[in-house]
Amino acid sequence: MAKAAEQVIEKIKQSAKDVESKIISRDKPTMRLPIRALNNVKYLPKQGYLQIQSKSKIRTLTVNTIKTFAQSLRMMALSKNLIQTNRHATKREAYYQSKNWAEAMFREQDESDTVMDDIEAMLGVNRERMNFRPEEHGGAVAGSLIVVDRQRRTGKRIEIDCTKFGSGAYTVPSTVEHLQFKTKARFILVIETGGMFDRLLEEDFFEQTNCILISMGGVPSRACRRFIRRLSDEYKLPVYVFTDGDPYGYMNIYRTLKVGSGNAAHLNRYFCVPGAKFLGVTPQDIVDYKLPTHDLKEQDIKRAQDALKNDPFVHHHKQWQAALKQMLKMKKRVEQQAFAKYGLDFVVKQYLPKKLKNPKTFLP
Amino acid sequence: MAKAAEQVIEKIKQSAKDVESKIISRDKPTMRLPIRALNNVKYLPKQGYLQIQSKSKIRTLTVNTIKTFAQSLRMMALSKNLIQTNRHATKREAYYQSKNWAEAMFREQDESDTVMDDIEAMLGVNRERMNFRPEEHGGAVAGSLIVVDRQRRTGKRIEIDCTKFGSGAYTVPSTVEHLQFKTKARFILVIETGGMFDRLLEEDFFEQTNCILISMGGVPSRACRRFIRRLSDEYKLPVYVFTDGDPYGYMNIYRTLKVGSGNAAHLNRYFCVPGAKFLGVTPQDIVDYKLPTHDLKEQDIKRAQDALKNDPFVHHHKQWQAALKQMLKMKKRVEQQAFAKYGLDFVVKQYLPKKLKNPKTFLP
């Protein structure tokens, strides 16, 4: 078994032993769970992510908590079994497995998801390492990258050449820890929409610039974030992010990719991409390129105001404060495909080359 | 230029010429548009799809319609230009291109999407052949299949071996007409959720059964439907569909895949997969396997009742009427991952092998 897997099993055993020894000595067993919310995080500019702080709740075994307690222990046992048999379970499968746990059965998947999150936070181990995985994949990849995976049945090494997908793409699997990479790319361009990804493929963008293109398809999945993080760490590759110009693209997509989020605060150190920089579309681009826009919706305005008021990442970066304020003043948002006004290839012939000549102007 | 592309250009030219000659002879130009709705379709059991019927509306050039008229002609001109330059535009890019059409500019993408649908129906050509494409990809593929595509820049032939993705998968591109295939698979198993797709990958299902696995990720995209259709046509491969056991899985996913839908009725003949059969999860499976269930939601009940009342496909198939009635009587729905109650590998060790021994029992 890999060393990382043994560490997780060791942590599970230790937690279970703590509970056991308290019971034997007639103490009440407890579990300490960090509070996962934006008011219990701090932005660490040097390390580059939102770090969880010390607020926590203690769950003591009582008549009221006995079911959750039992469920937590069974969930940990399930994880141990998965690791030992080299299997993975989706969150939904974990929920259904509980249907055979007699009184410890979960009634709804919400309950089992919460217990899983609690264990993650308690053990300080992301659930992918406990062999649980999300339902959704996420991320299409094309460009100067070879992904090294293994054949499931035989364990045979296979190399997946991401330049060789024609009009298709490589799909990031739901767990990525076991992958290895080979690349001579100059940078990674991470894109919000599948439409823009297809545009860049069609215009031979990755061949011309020797880069790796990754389409997030909205807010990036954990697997997609981890995939980008590992690539950027291991090859010191710059990561440039290209989203729609709206508060959702800036905060929910870019900020989550770069520094993590509040409700998954205990995991941000694994899933953040601290080196990411924001290429566009910026509010200033709307002015500079006379782009067609839409009015900000009410929720856009609320999201931008919230970010200015409560987001530790925005508090740290004056440039983001300025950008959000400029957007609120203009009352306009813009989509990344708006460049099509000037012709389908404008984005690759004009906009991106001009931006890429000067990455220092990117937003932090 | 390929012959198929020439045909589309010919149709565009002919329509434009009709308009021109009417104008020259001082007649009012018209466009005839078939009505796209479930009350203007008929189920053709032999051909296997919902066929559009003869109801249509005629758009005559008047002061009120002049803008839409102009937009339709410009949209046709855009398509002609895309085909001639071997480019594709997403629906959103088409919308943004109109920002340079002066008074014929679209205000919202809804408007340009509708004009695109109208032209599709009028010319009887699906928009992929007019070089327009959806934003979204759809469909992950793994198994005994080689996809033959071409390198974009060089036109060089490339072969993509879908057995060689390890834990990842091949993503179906947004247009699939240019792809070719090589396969010796015995059947195609089409799956609703990414989670079940991953389960089957992890349990070596495609190696053991020599099949092609396709994950739809919900209602299948047009590209995904067309991909399955072409594979099933060209290799006479049986297509088995495995969804959640609820009216959404039966009607919105399976029925759309097999025979098409009402609001895209003019296109069903391209995008249907008439040979598809429904493997499960059926209402009877809930009983036979004592599966954990959820209560039907109000919208599930409404959807099932609507299907029994209005859906020509259900009207034709007594077995589907019986299945929907059984479900309404039980008031229960089931997810495809519910088999995990009996262990993660139950679905591949017990459920699927037993079903696949007897495809004649599948729902039509």
**Angstrom distance (rounded) from CA A360 to CA A349:** 20
CB contact under 8 A, A175 and B166: no
Largest Cα–Cα separation, chain B = 75
Length of chain B: 364
- Is the confidence at residue A326, as pLDDT, over 70? yes
For CA atoms B306, B308, B313, B315, give the dihedral sign: negative
Q: Write out chain B residues lying below 8 Å of A204, CB-based.
A: 152-153
**DSSP state, A186?**
S
Q: Write out chain A residues lying below 8 Å of B158, CB-based.
A: 164-166
Q: Write out chain B residues lying below 8 Å of A200, CB-based.
A: none
- Is the confidence at residue A137, as pLDDT, over 70? no
Q: Which contiguous run of DSSP H or E holds residue A44?
A: strand A41-44
Which residue among B171, B341, B343 sits closest to A171, beta carbon to beta carbon?
B171
Q: What is the pLDDT of residue A136?
A: 64
Q: Which tops the pLDDT comparison, A314 or A34?
A: A314
B107, B146, B152, B161, best to mutate vs chain A, most A CBs in 10 Å: B152
pLDDT digits (tens), chain B, 364 positions: 678 889 999 999 999 998 899 889 988 888 888 887 777 888 888 888 888 888 888 888 888 888 998 999 999 999 999 999 888 898 889 999 998 898 999 998 889 998 998 898 888 888 888 998 876 667 899 999 999 998 766 788 999 999 988 888 898 888 888 899 999 999 999 999 888 998 999 899 999 999 999 999 888 888 899 999 999 999 999 999 999 999 999 999 999 999 988 777 778 888 899 999 999 999 999 999 999 999 999 999 999 999 999 889 999 999 999 999 999 999 999 999 999 999 999 999 999 999 999 999 999 9
**Angstrom distance (rounded) from CA A97 to CA A87:** 14
Q: Write out chain A residues lying below 8 Å of B335, CB-based.
A: 92, 96
Q: How many CB atoms lie within 10 A of CB A290?
A: 11
Q: What is the pLDDT of residue B117?
A: 87
- Phi then psi for residue A323, to 5 deg, are -65, -45
Q: What is the pLDDT of residue A155?
A: 81
What does pLDDT average to over chain A?
90
Q: Write out chain B residues lying below 8 Å of A178, CB-based.
A: 167
A153, A167, A210, A214, best to mutate vs chain B, most B CBs in 10 Å: A167
Q: Which contiguous run of DSSP H or E holds residue B34?
A: strand B30-34
Q: Which contiguous run of DSSP H or E holds residue B182?
A: strand B180-182
- Phi then psi for residue A28, to 5 deg, are -85, 125
**Angstrom distance (rounded) from CA B52 to CA B50:** 7
Which of B43, B49, B96, B250 is catalytic? The answer is: B96
Among A117-126, A312-321, B127-136, B137-146, where is mean pLDDT lowest? B127-136
- Phi then psi for residue A135, to 5 deg, are -65, -35
Q: Which tokens go with B359?
A: 């495809």
What amino acid positions of A are annotated as catalytic residues?
A: 96
- Phi then psi for residue A157, to 5 deg, are -70, 135
Question: Cα A194 from chain centroid?
Answer: 18
Q: What is the pLDDT of residue B52?
A: 84
Cis omega (within 30 of 0) on the bond before B281?
Answer: yes
- Name the minimum distance, in Å, from the CA of A144 to any CA of chain B: 14
- Name the minimum distance, in Å, from the CA of A227 to any CA of chain B: 12
CB contact under 8 A, A339 and B96: yes
pTM here is 0.79
Q: Write out chain A residues lying below 8 Å of B244, CB-based.
A: none
- Name the minimum distance, in Å, from the CA of A282 to any CA of chain B: 18
Q: What's the pLDDT tens digit per position in A35-48?
A: 877 778 888 888 88
**DSSP state, A363?**
B
A–B: how many Cβ contacts below 8 A? 171
CB contact under 8 A, A166 and B153: no
- Is the confidence at residue A1, as pLDDT, over 70? no
The end-to-end CA distance of chain A, in Å, is 40
Q: Write out chain B residues lying below 8 Å of A149, CB-based.
A: 165-168
CA atoms within 13 A on the CB side of B283: 20
Q: Which tokens go with A313?
A: 């990442």
CB contact under 8 A, B100 and A341: yes
CB contact under 8 A, A195 and B90: yes
Q: What's the pLDDT tens digit per position in A235-290?
A: 999 999 999 999 999 999 999 999 988 777 778 888 899 999 999 999 999 999 99
User: Given the structure tokens 């011309």, which residue do they identify?
Assistant: A208
| Alpha-helical segments (H) within A150-260 | 194-202, 205-209, 222-235, 247, 256-259
- Nearest C-alpha in A relative to B177: A167
- Nearest C-alpha in B relative to A179: B167
Pairing outcome for strands B30-34 and B56-60: antiparallel
B238, B212, B88, B83: which is closest to B160 by C-alpha? B212
**Angstrom distance (rounded) from CA B347 to CA B338:** 9
Q: Which residues, 6+ apart, have CB-to-CB distance to A65 below 8 Å?
A: A59
Residue B26 burial class via C-beta count within 10 angstroms: exposed 0-12, middle 13-18, buried 19 and up: exposed
B84, B91, B96, best to mutate vs chain A, most A CBs in 10 Å: B96
Question: For chain B, how are helix, strand and coil distributed in percent, rounded to 5?
Answer: 50, 20, 30
Which residue among B96, B178, B340 sits closest to A292, beta carbon to beta carbon?
B96
B96 is catalytic: yes
Q: What is the pLDDT of residue B137?
A: 61
For CA atoms B90, B92, B94, B97, give the dihedral sign: negative
- Is the confidence at residue A135, as pLDDT, over 80? no
- Is the confidence at residue A311, as pLDDT, over 80? yes
- Is the confidence at residue A134, as pLDDT, over 80? no
Q: What's the pLDDT tens digit per position in A168-204?
A: 889 888 888 889 999 999 999 999 988 899 899 989 9
Q: Write out chain B residues lying below 8 Å of A337, CB-based.
A: 90, 92-93, 96
CB contact under 8 A, A135 and B193: yes
A234, A236, A194: which is closest to A214 by C-alpha? A194
- Region A58-70: what's the mean pLDDT? 86
Q: What is the pLDDT of residue A151?
A: 77
CB contact under 8 A, A93 and B199: yes
Please tell me whether residue B314 adopts helix, strand or coil conformation: helix
Q: What is the pLDDT of residue B30?
A: 86
CB contact under 8 A, A167 and B178: yes
CB contact under 8 A, B168 and A164: no
**Angstrom distance (rounded) from CA A348 to CA A157:** 36
Can you name the residues that pair with A44 across neighbouring β-strands?
A49
- Name the minimum distance, in Å, from the CA of A314 to any CA of chain B: 31
- Alpha carbon of B183 to those of A53, B143, B187, B210, B232: distances in Å? 55, 9, 10, 10, 11
Q: What is the pLDDT of residue A88?
A: 87
- Name the minimum distance, in Å, from the CA of B184 to any CA of chain A: 20
**Angstrom distance (rounded) from CA A113 to CA B253:** 26
The residue type found at A197 is: F
Residue B355 burial class via C-beta count within 10 angstroms: exposed 0-12, middle 13-18, buried 19 and up: middle
Please tell me whether residue A182 adopts helix, strand or coil conformation: strand
CB contact under 8 A, A99 and B341: yes
| Alpha-helical segments (H) within A46-108 | 66-85, 91-97
Q: Give yes or no for a contact between A111 and A150, defined as CB atoms under 8 angstroms apart.
A: no
